[in-house]
Amino acid sequence: MNTPTSTNTQDPHMPITKRPYGRRLSDFGELKEAEEILLKSCKDGQLAEIGEAVPTDDSDPNKIVRAGFLSFLLLGGDEDAPVHEKGVRLIGASIEGDLDLENCVVPHGITLVMCKFNGAFTIRHAHITGPLILAGSHLLQGLGADGARCDSAVFLRDGFHAYGEVRFLKAHIGTDLDCSGGQFALPKGVAFNADSAVVKGNVRLAGGFKATGEVILTGAQIGGELSCSGGQFTPEDGVALMAEGIVVRGSVHLTAPFKATGEVRLLDAQIDGALFCSGGQFEPQKGYALTADRIVVRGGVHLNKSEAERFKATGGVRFLGAKIGGQLLCSGGQFEPKKDDAPSAQGAVVNGDALSAQGAVVNGDVHLNEGFKATGVSLLDAQIDGNVYCSGGQFEPKEGVSLCADRAVIKGSVYLESQFKATGNFHLLGAVIGRDLYCVGTARIDGVLGLEGATIKGKLQLRLVGSPVCIDATGSAIGHLEADGSPWAKGSILNGLVYKSLGGEAFTNAAASIKWLKLQRDQDLGEDISKRSFRPQPWKQLQKVLREMAYDADAREVGAAYEDQLRKADRIGPITDVKNGNCWGPFLRRKSLRSSHWLFGFLAGYGYHPLRLFMSLVGVWLFCGVIYWWLAYAPHSAIGPTDPLVFQNTVYSACAKENNGNWMLCEQLPAEYTTLSPLAYSLDILLPLVDLGQEKRWGPLTPTPEKNFCVELLSLSPPHWVRLLNWFQILYGWVASLLFVAIVSGMARRSEVEK
């Protein structure tokens, strides 16, 4: 197809290409004063200064530039209106009409500074080979740049105002997108939209940037940093900053004095640098403050206090399933979840945790310290390669739980020190802590420190200056258990707690250890009748560890205390069920077993104190020996020879008469007859398997029994006392002997078990 041509007036033989309307200077007729200035400046490559500020009076014809004429120059002009390589550069003009560059190729940059656009400005799918500079300009109908390509930077900064939506959907920007100081006003809609845009440089929505509508960066790819530091995102409703699936090769800055009154969404975002929110203010009218589920941050996440302000979120902050390559730093941050508008009888209901990182993977430390304050923190199923610092943090409860780190894997230590305070339960149920758990100083937990099923490979150190803490350590495993003072509160649960060693003042002696065991719940001690479920494992575990640590004496004391508690818990003998009718038999058996058990403890410390049995034997021997000595003298003369050849022989009758029946000191007794020795006599009766010849030769001189049983029963003459002592010693000797055998066999069995 031949291109239409026309004849050149200067050279009739030279054809020229026909141009569409608006692409020739002659199409615009008489130019306005501002247009004349712009035309001359474009030829010379100079800046066309129409005014020193954004025009406020559209009636001034000296500042008006028609949008069509401006488009004519932006597209390169013609032979009568050549445009310098520097492009169109205009300041302080009022653009009249719609500036439409859709699908156009702009051979130069666009510089329209402090201009006022009364109509629409469209560069959809346009290709701008230079920068797009709209610094300080006012766009009354926004900017449409969907699919646009700008080989250089885009500047919407330094007082830029847009009163309609600014759109860069799927746009490609060669370097930076800088909106610092720009104002984007569309309260009930989307003020700035760069969905799926590709920016090879930095994106700056900072330094006085203000958007009163939603800002959308969903799926955008940013080759540098995303900086919103000092930006104000204040939509009347909806999301303040939507950046789901964004890819940022640098860091993201939402630092002070950043402020968002709507939700900031970073779901599935990928950030090669760090996420900085230090001192940022996240105050949505409803819903979450910051949502970053499944975000991948190769650096750290900073939700901490800056030099000027502390981080504050009045809605939930979520990092569910996030992957953080550095630290999660929340030191000094304040996290408050939203509450229901309609309060219940107990007050307003809190919606969700203030800070939630369920299932998150953090390759560094987690800092919830130094003035940190939150109502509900969740680290459920989180994996943390470093330490968790909560020293000085304030944890308020959400549904009774201040912090939930159930099933979390923490390779470092957990620090609950200094002014740490949790006014609700602090849960580490099923958690694995690779090193230590410190709860020391003025730390305070008003609820329960839940360690049920937890594993602490290092030590659990409790050195509390303040009030003791109630600990649920059911089924937990601890490498080293250390405590000073009385850090455990009454009502703690120790059943299933396993530990390898002990340390600190609370376990340095048996008395302190037993006192610790007594801090268990009454029902676990068997002292709560309504919930009687005595738990023997804590007692046996403590005894085992003390023995392994060579504290044998203390282990024996704990064993004896366990037996005492067993009897207090009524776990000696069968349980009587009064509902079955025939309960007297089991009742009596249990009572007899309890009595025997008490006697065993009293005499031999349940086998843990055999020396006590020996000393009791010595005591009974000496006591009875003294009594026998006293009763053998006149005037009692209650002990005499049992051999009839002696006491019936008249030769020895003098012993009964001359000495008032004092056979022990009778000189007439033959020398070959065994002399009465009260101490030997007492020992001979006491020891059942020993024969010292005393018991066979000497005995009480008991008178003939009375016919009346009651009189005989109440007879307490000296011979009757001797007989009663004989019976007591015989029974006591047999009981002591049997106990001794039981103790020896019990020690042997324990030795075999230990081996």
Q: What is the pLDDT of residue 448?
A: 94
Shared domain check, 695 and 640:
yes
Q: What is the pLDDT of residue 579?
A: 47
Q: pTM of the prediction? A: 0.82
Shared domain check, 646 and 709:
yes
- Structural domain total, the chain: 2
Q: In the structure, what pLDDT confidence band is assigned to residue 714 with cuts at 50, 70 and 90?
A: low
Inside any domain, residue 574: yes
Inside any domain, residue 557: yes
Taking the C-alpha atoms of residue 190 and residue 166, their distance in angstroms, rounded to an integer, is 8
Shared domain check, 678 and 707:
yes
Inside any domain, residue 619: yes
- Residue of 413, 363, 359, 423 whose CA lies nearest to 393: 423
Please report, rounded to a whole number, the percentage of residues in the chain having pLDDT higher than 90: 55
Structural domain harbouring 619 = 611-736
Does residue 477 or residue 595 have the better pLDDT? 477
- Residue of 144, 154, 145, 165 whose CA lies nearest to 211: 165
Inside any domain, residue 458: no
Q: What is the pLDDT of residue 6?
A: 41
Shared domain check, 621 and 602:
no
Across all residues in the chain, what is the average pLDDT? 85
Final residue of a domain: which of 540, 572, 607? 607
Inside any domain, residue 178: no
CB 231 within 8 A of CB 203: no
Inside any domain, residue 183: no
Taking the C-alpha atoms of residue 438 and residue 449, their distance in angstroms, rounded to an integer, is 12
Taking the C-alpha atoms of residue 451 and residue 474, their distance in angstroms, rounded to an integer, is 7
Final residue of a domain: which of 576, 592, 607? 607
Shared domain check, 662 and 636:
yes
Query: For 362, phi and psi rounded to 5 degrees?
Result: -120, 115
Inside any domain, residue 701: yes
Q: What is the pLDDT of residue 116?
A: 95
What is the maximum span of the chain, computed from C-alpha positions, in angstroms? 185
| pLDDT tens per residue, range 644-688 | 766 666 556 656 555 455 666 666 666 656 777 888 888 888 888
HEC letters along 564-618? HHHHHCCCCCCCCCHHHCCCHHHHHHHHHHHHHHHHHHHHHHHHCCHHHHHHHHH
CB 421 within 8 A of CB 395: yes
Shared domain check, 615 and 602:
no
Of 46-60, 121-135, 344-358, 454-468, which gets the smallest average pLDDT? 344-358
HEC letters along 393-442? CEEECECCEEEECCCCEECCCEEECCCCEECCEEECCCCEECCCEEEEEC
Final residue of a domain: which of 588, 607, 626? 607
Does residue 416 or residue 595 have the better pLDDT? 416
Inside any domain, residue 700: yes
Residue linked to tokens 């089924």? 475
CB 542 within 8 A of CB 508: no
| pLDDT tens per residue, range 292-330 | 999 999 999 999 998 888 999 999 999 999 999 999 999
